[in-house]
Structure 1
């Protein structure tokens, strides 16, 4: 007050008011951080301490820990497990009928609790995996490690055999895991087929490919074979480097030399007989030639012919025409007719020199975004582009070492934290689904709407600078995008999520 009075000619009453206001402002400035902590329950501080969960390696189980961490980094998979868990809980609480027609109530329904001790459960692997994955994606204030034994024990119980640590292949383990999950889901679908109020989610890893041959000369194609796929397996080329997109494109086509195309052989026989004016052809042979005319226009190039006609074509040899010498080039095509919601790419790096196997060190250039084409193939041989699907990278499993031994490490994309949900702090996986504009067929729209309406999401601290977790069993570090994308020489499995 004295300083203000000496510096100004203000009256004493005004000086008192100015002094009080200045003192109040300084006090608020000093205690504001403490007030914010009290008001917002220290949420900012807890988010800054956010970390993820590691998995304990029993010995040589890095192929298991890395595979599970890779799956945990995919929000669509987390949401799928959440929906299956909800269905199982609903089945426990509602009466239904078994195959004999007996009423099943909550009292005599097969137990789904005690996951390691419930072999009769409809979906034991779903339950154990849900328990583990939810732990892996939960928010922790300090570094925590848990054991994957709940999943290992369940798999051993299902297959009634011990899981050998000498197996140590992340691709084989993941494939077994996905195949078992799909089988359990099929059992659930069959069990709940008469329950209209249950909305079973689609299996997010399921895709479909169509394989066939196309003759380069006659343009005819072979019979289609359709195959269900969970993992896209690619052979890494033996060269210094190659883009992932090019490997995917080249995997769809392969040229086969010296192929005996049935249509080319039939057309050659018919042309030759017309040139000969059917000289010396018996009535039975003329009937065979009439049948071959029908095959020449609409049969596949590998059609199974009736025995008599097949022998005629194979043994045909008149003048200078020998059918056995008619061979040509065909293209082996493997096109995708159904792209999955979650695309897992396995980069097979095994090379065989005729004596031993070695590891292919080719640098596979992959990115955080990839765009693939979904095709439609008709039985007539026409192939048309159906649509283009965009994917975002969520996890990478790398392998260092030799072909026979080494170590697996997982890079898992960080996700947001949802504030103000049922749990005070939980992983933001549902909001990724809630913000979808197009593909909502696999998810509960009502649940997604509630999540997007009630949830407040916050980026994990340092998520922009370090978007990935680098997880080596129980050792956890933060990682930049450039570090992840530079694992070109060691990338073994890539996990992409449909945008």
Structure 2
């Protein structure tokens, strides 16, 4: 041990110990950040837990808070509101703007003047929603909740009635808002119809369906009727579970028994008279039969026939042919001829058990992506599938409780939140407004001017791990995709957005 003590106490050994200590300290100083980043995450890439904006519930207002959050989750709707906002600002900033009324008839001029007399009341619901929705889609560093009272007051002013404080329905609330927005948009179209430089954007929720009948016997079709739609209404089947796409497909068709098809009855009379060789037919009856030949191939199955022909068919009864017994099975079809940019699906869970209405607990399996067919009706009433339209899930409203009372919660897909590796607080999103607006505007401008800079911005990890906000009035949590898709028993409304080409 003596030589060890001598060696460690020598000046050379002391210098070696000091040198080793300095090396260790310098090494720790150099590698500590990397080691910390490996264990705890890079502080430049580790951002605060961001949240979004909740809505204050006065008591029984979850039906409207969930409806508003569902709409806020639609980037295409936010884009539409921004375009309307720009148009309204332009109209209000130029009150002296003149419409081109050359060569207009008197009614057109009167209509133009009528719209011009009320520029501030053209789109009150649009304006109240703008202020609120733009707040709801923002990303915050701290918790914030706002009141939906501005929208409630606007709706009450429009309909001149107080909103009930008892339990209300999110579907009815959403439909009311969409119908009102479409009406206001029509007012804007009328107001700007003689201003060619202003283009009112299409209402993203508007679609069109066609209803018609198909006879399974003669394959004839009825005259189609067309209907404007904002929400796709689906009745949930009374069974344990079913897929959303199956419910959609079954909703397009309905079988009706014992239907009196005009074509089938006309063809039955013509065939029977040929078989009888027109025996005992009066000249008047022969004229009726000749007239029926024109309808045998060209008529619809619910054709409006001339009164004399209709009476002849109803009274026809010869030998064993009684026309009143000529009935068949038809299919009632309801197909989409124009699918909207934003597809809102309402799953009606009301069912009657023989005594009272109750809630249908059927598990509805839905996905983040769906494909729906869009059809075309030709002039000859032939129906063909035009194309398959793709949609992505953006919002889900669920309802828990009984048929008459319960609570609504909204799942809303997050916008793409990104941050610059050198600027932790700089965010960017499709419809995102952040606290530091000046820095964000500069950040967005840099991205807009140089697409190569996008590669320098990394998406926030929480958006990848938790793509949805779960919003229950003012309570906000992050949610995984699997959690959202597992809400099969309680899903009430689905909000899908059409994939851009």
What TM bracket, shorter-length normalisation?
0.7 to 0.9
2:402 equivalent in structure 1: 402
Question: Aligned to 1:186, what secondary structure does the other structure show?
Answer: helix
- Distance, in Å, in 2 between the alignment partners of 1:212 and 1:122 is 36
**C-alpha distance 488-451 of structure 1, shift in aligned 2 (>3 A):** farther
- Distance, in Å, in 1 between the alignment partners of 2:73 and 2:334 is 29
Preserved contact between residue 137 and residue 427 of structure 1 (Cα < 8 Å):
no
Q: How far does residue 381 in structure 1 lie from its aligned partner after superposition? A: 3.1
Question: Aligned to 2:354, what secondary structure does the other structure show?
Answer: coil
- Distance, in Å, in 1 between the alignment partners of 2:194 and 2:218 is 50
Q: How far does residue 150 in structure 1 lie from its aligned partner after superposition? A: 0.8
Query: Do residues 428 (structure 1) and 423 (structure 2) align?
Result: no
Q: How far does residue 258 in structure 1 lie from its aligned partner after superposition? A: 0.3
Q: How far does residue 257 in structure 1 lie from its aligned partner after superposition? A: 0.3
1:267 equivalent in structure 2: 267
Q: How far does residue 109 in structure 1 lie from its aligned partner after superposition? A: 8.2
List runs of 5+ in structure 1 lacking aligned partners: 9-15, 34-41, 112-119, 431-446
Preserved contact between residue 418 and residue 428 of structure 1 (Cα < 8 Å):
no
Q: How far does residue 24 in structure 1 lie from its aligned partner after superposition? A: 8.2
Query: Do residues 308 (structure 1) and 313 (structure 2) align?
Result: no
2:148 equivalent in structure 1: 148
- Structure 1 runs (4+) deviating above 4 angstroms are 2-8, 19-33, 42-45, 98-104, 108-111, 423-426, 449-458
**C-alpha distance 87-425 of structure 1, shift in aligned 2 (>3 A):** farther
Deviations 1:101-130 (A, max 9, x none): 9999xxx9856xxxxxxxx42111111101
Q: How far does residue 452 in structure 1 lie from its aligned partner after superposition? A: 8.8
1:192 equivalent in structure 2: 192
Q: TM-score, normalised by structure 1?
A: 0.83
Q: How does 1:238-317 map to 2 (within 5 A)?
A: 238-317=238-317
**C-alpha distance 198-452 of structure 1, shift in aligned 2 (>3 A):** farther
2:50 equivalent in structure 1: 50
Q: How does 1:353-368 map to 2 (within 5 A)?
A: 353-368=353-368
Question: Aligned to 1:462, what secondary structure does the other structure show?
Answer: helix
List runs of 5+ in structure 2 lacking aligned partners: 1-10, 36-42, 100-108, 433-444
Preserved contact between residue 263 and residue 300 of structure 1 (Cα < 8 Å):
yes
Query: Do residues 90 (structure 1) and 81 (structure 2) align?
Result: no
- Distance, in Å, in 1 between the alignment partners of 2:189 and 2:72 is 24
Q: How does 1:337-348 map to 2 (within 5 A)?
A: 337-348=337-348
Preserved contact between residue 375 and residue 384 of structure 2 (Cα < 8 Å):
yes
Q: How far does residue 339 in structure 1 lie from its aligned partner after superposition? A: 0.8
Q: TM-score, normalised by structure 2?
A: 0.83
1:318 equivalent in structure 2: 318
Question: Aligned to 1:96, what secondary structure does the other structure show?
Answer: coil
- Distance, in Å, in 1 between the alignment partners of 2:148 and 2:218 is 56
Q: How far does residue 276 in structure 1 lie from its aligned partner after superposition? A: 1.2
**C-alpha distance 76-340 of structure 1, shift in aligned 2 (>3 A):** same
**C-alpha distance 28-321 of structure 1, shift in aligned 2 (>3 A):** same
- Distance, in Å, in 2 between the alignment partners of 1:257 and 1:4 is 105
Preserved contact between residue 254 and residue 331 of structure 2 (Cα < 8 Å):
yes
Deviations 1:348-387 (A, max 9, x none): 0000133310110000000111111111122423221111
**C-alpha distance 78-261 of structure 1, shift in aligned 2 (>3 A):** same
Q: How far does residue 458 in structure 1 lie from its aligned partner after superposition? A: 4.8
**C-alpha distance 407-268 of structure 1, shift in aligned 2 (>3 A):** same
User: What RMSD in Å do the two structures reach over aligned CA positions?
Assistant: 3.3
1:115 equivalent in structure 2: none
2:469 equivalent in structure 1: 469
2:217 equivalent in structure 1: 217
- Distance, in Å, in 2 between the alignment partners of 1:250 and 1:103 is 49
Deviations 1:240-278 (A, max 9, x none): 000001000111111100000010000000111111111
